[in-house]
Amino acid sequence: MTLFRDEIRSPIGAIVVVTDDTSLRALDFLDYSDRMHRLLRTHYGTVDLREARERIGVRERLDAYFDGDLHALDVPTDTNGTRFQKTVWAALRTIAPGTALSYGVLARKIGMPDAVRAVGLANGANPLGIVVPCHRVIGADGSLTGYGGGLARKAWLLRHEGFVFTQGSHSRGDTDRQLALFEQ
């Protein structure tokens, strides 16, 4: 399978997008490229990854998103994954900007209330960060939980979308110091 790789600048670091001629196949931050390559191998096996400017409008839609159009990320996607993963990823796309759900609520939303851990694993295997907004899933206590691009980026994305953190709803310390780097 031949796919095309492009890098896009963003306020929170360089983003790598992988496309074919019609769809977005992967999106991750440059400093997490190893994770993206691992997911590509998992989903597609051997991939011939060629450097080329993406041709399906992802760059323009990401620019619009970062400029404040929070609904600009309706890009065509095509990913491999299990039926369960695809169900979770489809549910993630229904979480509105400025809101967040817990893993438990997401599990209930897909009709599998006992599958909280499996929902978390599927969320973590999402190859299309930002577009499939896994950053909108938080802990049941309102805390930030893992994110493939790092907790500081997760906090930045949630704030960018207008999510209001309540007192103690996300971890302080290192996350806030890292977040400050993006806001300079």
| pLDDT value of position 180 | 44
Q: Are residues 50 and 92 in the same domain?
A: no
Q: What is the CATH number of the domain that holds 46?
A: 3.30.160
For the chain, how many structural domains are there in total?
2
| pLDDT value of position 86 | 97
Q: Is residue 32 within 8 Å of residue 172, measured between CB atoms?
A: no
Q: Does residue 29 carry a pLDDT above 60?
A: yes
Q: Does residue 184 carry a pLDDT above 50?
A: no
- Over the stretch 88-123, which tens digit does the pLDDT of each residue have? 999 999 999 999 999 999 999 999 999 999 999 999
Look up the domain containing 124 and give its range.
83-183
Q: Which among 170, 173, 171, 179 is positioned nearest to 149, based on CA atoms?
A: 179
Q: How far is 77 from 90, CA to CA, in rounded Å?
A: 11
- Over the stretch 152-173, which tens digit does the pLDDT of each residue have? 999 999 999 999 887 555 544 4
Q: Are residues 92 and 176 in the same domain?
A: yes
| pLDDT value of position 31 | 95
Q: Is residue 75 part of a domain?
A: no
The proportion of the chain whose per-residue pLDDT surpasses 70, expressed as a percent, equals: 90
Q: Which among 163, 29, 179, 171 is positioned nearest to 101, based on CA atoms?
A: 163
Of 66, 101, 118, the domain-final residue:
66
Q: How far is 5 from 147, CA to CA, in rounded Å?
A: 22
Active site residue 134: yes
Q: Is residue 160 part of a domain?
A: yes
Q: Does residue 18 carry a pLDDT above 60?
A: yes
| pLDDT value of position 177 | 43
DSSP-based helix, strand, coil % in the chain, nearest 5: 40, 15, 45
Judged on CB neighbours under 10 Å (0-12, 13-18, 19+), 7 is middle
- The pTM for the full model equals 0.88
Of 66, 94, 111, the domain-final residue:
66
Q: Which of 134, 138, 151, 157 is catalytic?
A: 134
CA distances from 72 to 92, 101, 155 (A): 16, 21, 20
Q: Are residues 117 and 30 in the same domain?
A: no
| pLDDT value of position 146 | 87
Find where tokens 């009709």 sit. 111
| pLDDT value of position 80 | 93
